[in-house]
Amino acid sequence: MINIDLHITYRCNLNCIHCSVSDLRNEDFIKLHYGAGIFRGKKPKEVIYKEEYILYLLSLLNDGKYKFRVNFSSNAGESTLIKNFVDIWNFISRKETVKSMTLTTNGRNLYKIIKHMDLTKLQNIIFSLDGCEEKINDTIRGPGSFNAVIRSIKAIQKIFDYQKNDNIFIQINYTLNKLNAFSLPFLPIILKYTHIPFTFNIIKIYLLEGNAAKNKKILNISFDEIKNSIKKFYNNLAEINVLRESKGLKPFKFRLEGFTAKEIFSIINNLHHLKCKYFLLGISRNQGTCGVVNKKRIFIDPYGYIFPCLQFTHEKVLNSFYEKYKRTEVPHISKISKIDDVIYSEFFRNARMWVNELYSFNGFPCAKCKFVKVCTICPVGVNIRGEIPNECRM
Protein backbone atom coordinates (compact mmCIF):
# COMPACT_ATOMS: atom_id res chain seq x y z
CA MET A 1 0.00 0.00 0.00
CA ILE A 2 1.33 3.41 -0.98
CA ASN A 3 0.13 6.49 0.89
CA ILE A 4 -0.16 9.49 -1.38
CA ASP A 5 -0.21 12.81 0.47
CA LEU A 6 -1.78 15.04 -2.14
CA HIS A 7 -1.49 18.79 -1.79
CA ILE A 8 -3.48 20.61 -4.45
CA THR A 9 -3.00 24.11 -3.11
CA TYR A 10 -1.05 26.20 -0.63
CA ARG A 11 -4.00 28.61 -0.45
CA CYS A 12 -6.23 28.75 2.60
CA ASN A 13 -9.52 30.47 3.43
CA LEU A 14 -8.42 31.04 7.02
CA ASN A 15 -5.38 32.70 8.50
CA CYS A 16 -5.20 31.20 11.99
CA ILE A 17 -3.03 32.97 14.51
CA HIS A 18 -1.23 29.71 15.28
CA CYS A 19 -0.69 28.64 11.66
CA SER A 20 2.88 27.49 11.16
CA VAL A 21 2.72 27.34 7.35
CA SER A 22 1.25 30.79 6.69
CA ASP A 23 4.53 31.89 5.07
CA LEU A 24 3.76 29.56 2.17
CA ARG A 25 0.85 31.83 1.31
CA ASN A 26 2.82 35.04 1.30
CA GLU A 27 3.51 35.96 -2.32
CA ASP A 28 6.90 37.48 -1.50
CA PHE A 29 7.94 34.40 0.37
CA ILE A 30 6.73 32.15 -2.41
CA LYS A 31 8.67 34.19 -4.96
CA LEU A 32 11.79 33.97 -2.86
CA HIS A 33 11.34 30.35 -1.93
CA TYR A 34 10.45 29.13 -5.37
CA GLY A 35 13.08 31.22 -7.04
CA ALA A 36 15.70 29.23 -5.17
CA GLY A 37 17.22 25.78 -5.56
CA ILE A 38 15.30 23.30 -7.63
CA PHE A 39 12.43 25.75 -8.02
CA ARG A 40 14.47 28.40 -9.80
CA GLY A 41 12.38 30.09 -12.47
CA LYS A 42 8.98 28.95 -11.17
CA LYS A 43 6.38 31.68 -10.95
CA PRO A 44 4.24 32.25 -7.84
CA LYS A 45 1.07 32.01 -9.92
CA GLU A 46 1.75 28.28 -10.30
CA VAL A 47 0.89 27.77 -6.67
CA ILE A 48 -2.50 26.28 -7.56
CA TYR A 49 -2.56 22.74 -8.83
CA LYS A 50 -2.91 22.44 -12.59
CA GLU A 51 -5.67 20.31 -14.00
CA GLU A 52 -3.23 18.41 -16.17
CA TYR A 53 -1.46 17.21 -13.00
CA ILE A 54 -4.67 15.45 -11.99
CA LEU A 55 -4.70 13.64 -15.34
CA TYR A 56 -1.12 12.51 -14.73
CA LEU A 57 -2.06 11.41 -11.23
CA LEU A 58 -5.07 9.44 -12.48
CA SER A 59 -2.81 7.68 -14.92
CA LEU A 60 -0.26 6.97 -12.17
CA LEU A 61 -3.04 5.34 -10.15
CA ASN A 62 -3.34 2.74 -12.93
CA ASP A 63 -0.04 1.25 -11.76
CA GLY A 64 -1.36 -2.22 -10.96
CA LYS A 65 1.68 -3.16 -8.87
CA TYR A 66 0.40 -1.12 -5.92
CA LYS A 67 -2.75 -0.29 -3.98
CA PHE A 68 -3.18 3.29 -2.79
CA ARG A 69 -4.45 5.35 0.10
CA VAL A 70 -4.93 8.94 -1.04
CA ASN A 71 -4.78 11.64 1.64
CA PHE A 72 -6.04 15.07 0.68
CA SER A 73 -3.84 16.76 3.12
CA SER A 74 -4.16 20.24 4.48
CA ASN A 75 -0.74 20.40 6.11
CA ALA A 76 -0.12 23.46 4.00
CA GLY A 77 -3.38 24.44 2.25
CA GLU A 78 -7.15 23.84 2.12
CA SER A 79 -8.04 21.38 -0.67
CA THR A 80 -11.78 22.18 -0.67
CA LEU A 81 -10.96 25.68 -1.92
CA ILE A 82 -10.13 24.36 -5.36
CA LYS A 83 -13.01 25.04 -7.71
CA ASN A 84 -13.25 21.49 -9.05
CA PHE A 85 -12.28 19.75 -5.81
CA VAL A 86 -15.39 17.53 -5.82
CA ASP A 87 -14.62 16.27 -9.35
CA ILE A 88 -11.00 15.58 -8.44
CA TRP A 89 -12.07 13.71 -5.29
CA ASN A 90 -14.69 11.66 -7.19
CA PHE A 91 -12.35 10.77 -10.07
CA ILE A 92 -9.74 9.49 -7.64
CA SER A 93 -12.32 7.66 -5.57
CA ARG A 94 -13.50 5.71 -8.63
CA LYS A 95 -10.03 4.32 -9.35
CA GLU A 96 -9.95 0.60 -8.62
CA THR A 97 -6.44 0.71 -7.18
CA VAL A 98 -7.47 3.34 -4.62
CA LYS A 99 -8.57 1.49 -1.52
CA SER A 100 -9.19 4.34 0.89
CA MET A 101 -9.19 8.11 1.13
CA THR A 102 -8.66 10.68 3.83
CA LEU A 103 -9.63 14.32 3.90
CA THR A 104 -8.03 16.82 6.24
CA THR A 105 -9.98 20.06 6.21
CA ASN A 106 -10.57 23.17 8.26
CA GLY A 107 -14.30 22.48 7.77
CA ARG A 108 -15.03 25.98 6.45
CA ASN A 109 -16.47 24.75 3.11
CA LEU A 110 -17.23 21.11 3.61
CA TYR A 111 -20.93 21.35 4.53
CA LYS A 112 -21.56 23.05 1.16
CA ILE A 113 -20.06 20.26 -0.95
CA ILE A 114 -20.19 17.03 1.01
CA LYS A 115 -23.44 15.81 -0.54
CA HIS A 116 -21.77 15.85 -3.98
CA MET A 117 -18.76 13.81 -2.86
CA ASP A 118 -18.48 10.07 -3.41
CA LEU A 119 -17.83 8.88 0.16
CA THR A 120 -17.59 5.15 -0.58
CA LYS A 121 -13.88 5.02 0.14
CA LEU A 122 -13.72 7.73 2.76
CA GLN A 123 -11.90 6.19 5.69
CA ASN A 124 -10.96 9.17 7.74
CA ILE A 125 -11.96 12.78 7.92
CA ILE A 126 -10.05 15.27 10.02
CA PHE A 127 -11.43 18.63 11.14
CA SER A 128 -9.83 21.40 13.13
CA LEU A 129 -11.44 23.03 16.12
CA ASP A 130 -9.52 25.22 18.52
CA GLY A 131 -12.05 26.09 21.17
CA CYS A 132 -15.35 24.72 22.42
CA GLU A 133 -17.19 27.99 22.05
CA GLU A 134 -17.42 30.41 19.16
CA LYS A 135 -15.54 33.21 20.88
CA ILE A 136 -12.35 31.33 21.65
CA ASN A 137 -12.27 29.26 18.44
CA ASP A 138 -12.91 32.29 16.23
CA THR A 139 -10.28 34.38 18.03
CA ILE A 140 -7.76 31.77 16.92
CA ARG A 141 -9.17 30.62 13.58
CA GLY A 142 -11.14 33.61 12.32
CA PRO A 143 -14.79 34.79 12.33
CA GLY A 144 -17.41 32.24 11.33
CA SER A 145 -15.09 29.26 11.57
CA PHE A 146 -16.72 27.69 14.67
CA ASN A 147 -20.20 27.65 13.18
CA ALA A 148 -18.89 26.42 9.83
CA VAL A 149 -17.06 23.45 11.31
CA ILE A 150 -20.07 22.51 13.47
CA ARG A 151 -22.26 22.65 10.33
CA SER A 152 -19.76 20.43 8.51
CA ILE A 153 -19.69 17.93 11.36
CA LYS A 154 -23.51 17.85 11.42
CA ALA A 155 -23.63 17.39 7.63
CA ILE A 156 -21.33 14.38 7.74
CA GLN A 157 -23.12 12.99 10.74
CA LYS A 158 -26.45 13.17 8.91
CA ILE A 159 -25.02 11.16 6.01
CA PHE A 160 -23.54 8.47 8.22
CA ASP A 161 -26.61 8.31 10.49
CA TYR A 162 -28.71 7.75 7.38
CA GLN A 163 -26.37 4.94 6.31
CA LYS A 164 -26.40 3.61 9.92
CA ASN A 165 -22.62 3.60 9.65
CA ASP A 166 -20.54 4.30 12.73
CA ASN A 167 -17.32 2.87 11.31
CA ILE A 168 -16.17 6.18 9.94
CA PHE A 169 -13.13 7.57 11.69
CA ILE A 170 -13.64 11.25 12.38
CA GLN A 171 -10.91 13.11 14.09
CA ILE A 172 -11.00 16.57 15.61
CA ASN A 173 -7.63 18.27 15.75
CA TYR A 174 -7.23 20.63 18.69
CA THR A 175 -3.98 22.58 18.76
CA LEU A 176 -3.39 23.27 22.42
CA ASN A 177 -2.09 26.71 23.33
CA LYS A 178 -2.28 29.33 26.06
CA LEU A 179 -5.52 30.81 24.67
CA ASN A 180 -7.56 27.62 24.43
CA ALA A 181 -6.16 25.30 27.13
CA PHE A 182 -9.04 26.15 29.51
CA SER A 183 -11.57 25.20 26.82
CA LEU A 184 -10.18 21.75 25.89
CA PRO A 185 -11.96 19.93 28.77
CA PHE A 186 -15.34 20.88 27.23
CA LEU A 187 -14.64 19.09 23.94
CA PRO A 188 -16.24 15.75 24.90
CA ILE A 189 -19.15 17.64 26.48
CA ILE A 190 -20.20 19.66 23.42
CA LEU A 191 -20.34 16.52 21.26
CA LYS A 192 -21.54 14.08 23.90
CA TYR A 193 -24.58 12.49 22.23
CA THR A 194 -23.35 12.39 18.63
CA HIS A 195 -23.55 8.91 17.12
CA ILE A 196 -20.12 9.21 15.61
CA PRO A 197 -17.36 8.05 17.96
CA PHE A 198 -14.99 10.98 17.50
CA THR A 199 -11.28 10.80 18.10
CA PHE A 200 -9.89 13.93 19.69
CA ASN A 201 -6.36 14.61 18.55
CA ILE A 202 -4.59 16.99 20.90
CA ILE A 203 -1.71 18.61 19.04
CA LYS A 204 1.30 20.22 20.59
CA ILE A 205 1.65 23.73 19.22
CA TYR A 206 4.63 24.34 16.93
CA LEU A 207 5.95 27.87 17.50
CA LEU A 208 9.00 28.03 15.26
CA GLU A 209 7.45 29.27 11.99
CA GLY A 210 4.68 31.32 10.37
CA ASN A 211 1.96 33.17 12.30
CA ALA A 212 2.66 30.93 15.29
CA ALA A 213 6.20 32.30 15.59
CA LYS A 214 4.89 35.87 15.32
CA ASN A 215 2.27 35.24 18.01
CA LYS A 216 4.53 33.15 20.19
CA LYS A 217 4.11 35.41 23.23
CA ILE A 218 0.36 34.94 23.48
CA LEU A 219 0.32 31.28 22.41
CA ASN A 220 3.21 29.80 24.34
CA ILE A 221 2.07 27.35 26.98
CA SER A 222 4.11 25.59 29.65
CA PHE A 223 4.27 21.82 29.84
CA ASP A 224 2.61 21.90 33.28
CA GLU A 225 -0.35 23.83 31.84
CA ILE A 226 -0.58 21.29 29.03
CA LYS A 227 -0.66 18.41 31.52
CA ASN A 228 -3.30 20.14 33.61
CA SER A 229 -5.56 20.88 30.67
CA ILE A 230 -5.31 17.30 29.36
CA LYS A 231 -6.02 15.93 32.83
CA LYS A 232 -9.29 17.89 33.09
CA PHE A 233 -10.15 16.94 29.51
CA TYR A 234 -9.61 13.25 30.28
CA ASN A 235 -11.77 13.35 33.42
CA ASN A 236 -14.67 14.70 31.33
CA LEU A 237 -14.01 12.28 28.48
CA ALA A 238 -14.10 9.29 30.87
CA GLU A 239 -17.35 10.50 32.43
CA ILE A 240 -19.04 11.15 29.06
CA ASN A 241 -17.90 7.76 27.76
CA VAL A 242 -19.63 5.96 30.64
CA LEU A 243 -22.82 7.80 29.63
CA ARG A 244 -22.30 7.02 25.93
CA GLU A 245 -21.68 3.35 26.52
CA SER A 246 -24.80 3.09 28.72
CA LYS A 247 -26.77 4.34 25.70
CA GLY A 248 -25.09 1.84 23.37
CA LEU A 249 -22.88 4.46 21.70
CA LYS A 250 -19.21 3.83 20.97
CA PRO A 251 -16.81 5.74 23.28
CA PHE A 252 -14.79 8.76 22.25
CA LYS A 253 -11.04 8.30 22.04
CA PHE A 254 -8.14 10.67 22.22
CA ARG A 255 -4.58 10.76 20.94
CA LEU A 256 -1.61 13.06 21.30
CA GLU A 257 0.26 14.44 18.30
CA GLY A 258 3.55 16.29 18.10
CA PHE A 259 4.57 15.22 21.59
CA THR A 260 7.73 13.20 22.17
CA ALA A 261 7.62 9.82 23.92
CA LYS A 262 8.96 11.35 27.14
CA GLU A 263 6.21 13.97 27.08
CA ILE A 264 3.51 11.39 26.32
CA PHE A 265 4.55 9.19 29.23
CA SER A 266 4.60 12.21 31.52
CA ILE A 267 1.09 13.28 30.36
CA ILE A 268 -0.49 9.86 30.72
CA ASN A 269 1.17 9.28 34.11
CA ASN A 270 -0.69 12.36 35.26
CA LEU A 271 -4.11 10.89 34.29
CA HIS A 272 -6.30 9.16 36.81
CA HIS A 273 -7.08 5.53 35.86
CA LEU A 274 -6.45 5.91 32.14
CA LYS A 275 -8.50 3.34 30.25
CA CYS A 276 -6.52 2.01 27.31
CA LYS A 277 -9.68 1.69 25.18
CA TYR A 278 -10.07 5.49 25.34
CA PHE A 279 -6.52 6.23 24.22
CA LEU A 280 -4.88 5.73 20.82
CA LEU A 281 -1.20 5.34 21.36
CA GLY A 282 0.41 6.89 18.32
CA ILE A 283 4.00 6.38 19.31
CA SER A 284 5.25 4.12 16.61
CA ARG A 285 7.11 6.37 14.22
CA ASN A 286 10.60 5.02 13.97
CA GLN A 287 12.87 3.96 11.17
CA GLY A 288 10.42 1.22 10.17
CA THR A 289 7.41 3.52 9.97
CA CYS A 290 9.08 6.67 8.62
CA GLY A 291 7.57 7.19 5.17
CA VAL A 292 10.89 8.23 3.66
CA VAL A 293 12.65 5.06 4.78
CA ASN A 294 9.92 2.44 4.32
CA LYS A 295 9.04 3.40 0.70
CA LYS A 296 5.34 3.50 1.51
CA ARG A 297 4.63 7.22 1.24
CA ILE A 298 4.98 9.94 -1.36
CA PHE A 299 4.14 13.62 -1.07
CA ILE A 300 2.88 15.57 -4.10
CA ASP A 301 3.10 19.36 -3.82
CA PRO A 302 0.86 21.87 -5.65
CA TYR A 303 3.59 22.34 -8.29
CA GLY A 304 3.42 18.65 -9.19
CA TYR A 305 6.78 17.80 -7.61
CA ILE A 306 6.95 14.50 -5.76
CA PHE A 307 8.90 14.41 -2.50
CA PRO A 308 9.50 11.66 0.04
CA CYS A 309 7.61 13.73 2.63
CA LEU A 310 6.59 17.27 3.58
CA GLN A 311 9.94 17.94 5.24
CA PHE A 312 11.68 18.00 1.85
CA THR A 313 9.59 20.96 0.70
CA HIS A 314 11.36 23.17 3.24
CA GLU A 315 14.23 25.10 1.76
CA LYS A 316 16.43 24.64 4.82
CA VAL A 317 15.96 20.87 4.69
CA LEU A 318 16.62 20.71 0.95
CA ASN A 319 19.77 22.80 1.31
CA SER A 320 21.11 20.56 4.09
CA PHE A 321 20.28 17.52 1.98
CA TYR A 322 22.16 18.95 -1.01
CA GLU A 323 25.19 19.73 1.12
CA LYS A 324 25.52 16.00 1.68
CA TYR A 325 24.18 14.54 -1.56
CA LYS A 326 24.57 15.90 -5.04
CA ARG A 327 21.69 17.86 -6.53
CA THR A 328 19.43 15.46 -8.45
CA GLU A 329 16.16 15.98 -10.23
CA VAL A 330 13.04 15.88 -8.07
CA PRO A 331 10.52 13.56 -9.73
CA HIS A 332 7.68 15.47 -11.36
CA ILE A 333 4.18 14.11 -11.92
CA SER A 334 4.38 14.93 -15.65
CA LYS A 335 7.57 12.94 -16.15
CA ILE A 336 6.89 9.61 -14.48
CA SER A 337 4.64 6.77 -15.48
CA LYS A 338 4.92 4.36 -12.57
CA ILE A 339 5.40 4.49 -8.82
CA ASP A 340 8.75 2.71 -9.02
CA ASP A 341 10.06 5.63 -11.16
CA VAL A 342 9.54 7.74 -8.04
CA ILE A 343 10.51 5.39 -5.25
CA TYR A 344 13.69 4.24 -6.99
CA SER A 345 14.64 7.64 -8.40
CA GLU A 346 18.05 8.95 -7.40
CA PHE A 347 16.43 11.69 -5.33
CA PHE A 348 14.38 9.22 -3.29
CA ARG A 349 17.28 6.76 -2.90
CA ASN A 350 19.54 9.52 -1.59
CA ALA A 351 16.79 10.80 0.68
CA ARG A 352 16.43 7.32 2.21
CA MET A 353 20.16 7.09 2.87
CA TRP A 354 20.23 10.57 4.37
CA VAL A 355 17.24 10.05 6.69
CA ASN A 356 18.64 6.66 7.76
CA GLU A 357 21.86 8.44 8.76
CA LEU A 358 19.93 11.14 10.62
CA TYR A 359 18.28 8.41 12.69
CA SER A 360 21.55 8.02 14.61
CA PHE A 361 20.78 11.45 16.22
CA ASN A 362 24.46 12.19 16.69
CA GLY A 363 24.95 14.94 19.26
CA PHE A 364 21.29 14.89 20.41
CA PRO A 365 19.84 13.37 23.61
CA CYS A 366 17.71 11.03 21.46
CA ALA A 367 20.87 9.03 20.64
CA LYS A 368 20.92 7.73 24.23
CA CYS A 369 17.21 7.82 24.99
CA LYS A 370 15.53 4.54 25.96
CA PHE A 371 12.33 5.68 24.20
CA VAL A 372 13.91 6.33 20.82
CA LYS A 373 12.43 3.22 19.20
CA VAL A 374 8.86 4.26 20.03
CA CYS A 375 9.20 8.02 19.80
CA THR A 376 7.37 10.03 17.12
CA ILE A 377 10.19 12.50 16.84
CA CYS A 378 11.24 13.17 13.25
CA PRO A 379 14.98 12.83 12.59
CA VAL A 380 14.88 15.66 10.03
CA GLY A 381 13.07 17.90 12.53
CA VAL A 382 15.64 17.23 15.26
CA ASN A 383 18.82 17.31 13.16
CA ILE A 384 18.04 20.07 10.70
CA ARG A 385 15.28 22.19 12.21
CA GLY A 386 16.30 21.85 15.85
CA GLU A 387 12.87 20.65 16.98
CA ILE A 388 13.61 19.10 20.32
CA PRO A 389 11.54 20.16 23.32
CA ASN A 390 12.96 21.16 26.70
CA GLU A 391 11.58 18.03 28.34
CA CYS A 392 13.90 16.00 26.10
CA ARG A 393 16.94 18.22 26.53
CA MET A 394 17.07 17.38 30.22
Which of 17, 378, 383, 384 is in the footprint of ligand SF4 by CB under 6 A? Answer: 378
Closer of 110 and 298 to ligand SF4 (Cβ): 298
Site for ligand SF4, residues 290 to 329, rule: CB under 6 A:
290-292, 309, 311
Which of 285, 296, 335, 338 is in the footprint of ligand SF4 by CB under 6 A? Answer: 285
CB 200 within 8 A of CB 188: yes
Give least dist CB 285 to ligand SF4, A.
Answer: 5
Which of 262, 303, 314, 330 is in the footprint of ligand SF4 by CB under 6 A? Answer: 262
Phi, psi (deg, nearest 5) at residue 355: -65, -40
> What does each C-alpha distance from 186 to 231, 232, 237, 355 come to in angstroms?
12, 9, 9, 40
Query: Is residue 261 a contact point for ligand SF4 (CB under 6 A)?
Result: yes
Taking alpha carbons only, the member of 194, 219, 198, 197 closest to residue 208 is: 219
Taking the C-alpha atoms of residue 54 and residue 49, their distance in angstroms, rounded to an integer, is: 8
Query: Is residue 282 a contact point for ligand SF4 (CB under 6 A)?
Result: no
Contact region for ligand SF4 (CB under 6 A) — 136-144, 152-160, 232-240, 373-381?
A: 373-381
Taking alpha carbons only, the member of 122, 142, 115, 117 closest to residue 130 is: 142
Which stretches within the chain are classed as H helix?
27-34, 51-60, 85-93, 110-113, 134-141, 145-162, 187-190, 210-214, 216-219, 223-246, 261-269, 291-294, 315-324, 339-343, 346-358, 379-385, 390-393
What mask of x and - would describe binding to ligand SF4 in positions 201 to 240, judged by CB under 6 A?
----------------------------------------
Query: Is residue 268 a contact point for ligand SF4 (CB under 6 A)?
Result: no
Which of 355, 359, 383, 384 is in the footprint of ligand SF4 by CB under 6 A? Answer: 355
Closer of 16 and 377 to ligand SF4 (Cβ): 377
Taking alpha carbons only, the member of 390, 26, 18, 36 closest to residue 222 is: 390
Give least dist CB 153 to ligand SF4, A.
Answer: 28
Give least dist CB 260 to ligand SF4, A.
Answer: 4
Query: How many amino acids of this chain bind ligand SF4 (CB under 6 A)?
Result: 21
Taking the C-alpha atoms of residue 376 and residue 383, their distance in angstroms, rounded to an integer, is: 14
Taking the C-alpha atoms of residue 212 and residue 347, their distance in angstroms, rounded to an integer, is: 31
Give least dist CB 278 to ligand SF4, A.
Answer: 23
Taking the C-alpha atoms of residue 194 and residue 1, their distance in angstroms, rounded to an integer, is: 32
> What does each C-alpha distance from 375 to 6, 75, 370 come to in angstroms?
26, 21, 9
Closer of 106 and 311 to ligand SF4 (Cβ): 311
Give least dist CB 84 to ligand SF4, A.
Answer: 29
Query: Is residue 371 a contact point for ligand SF4 (CB under 6 A)?
Result: yes
Residue numbers of the site for ligand SF4 (CB under 6 A)? 260-262, 285, 290-292, 309, 311, 355, 365-366, 369, 371-372, 375, 377-378, 380, 388, 392
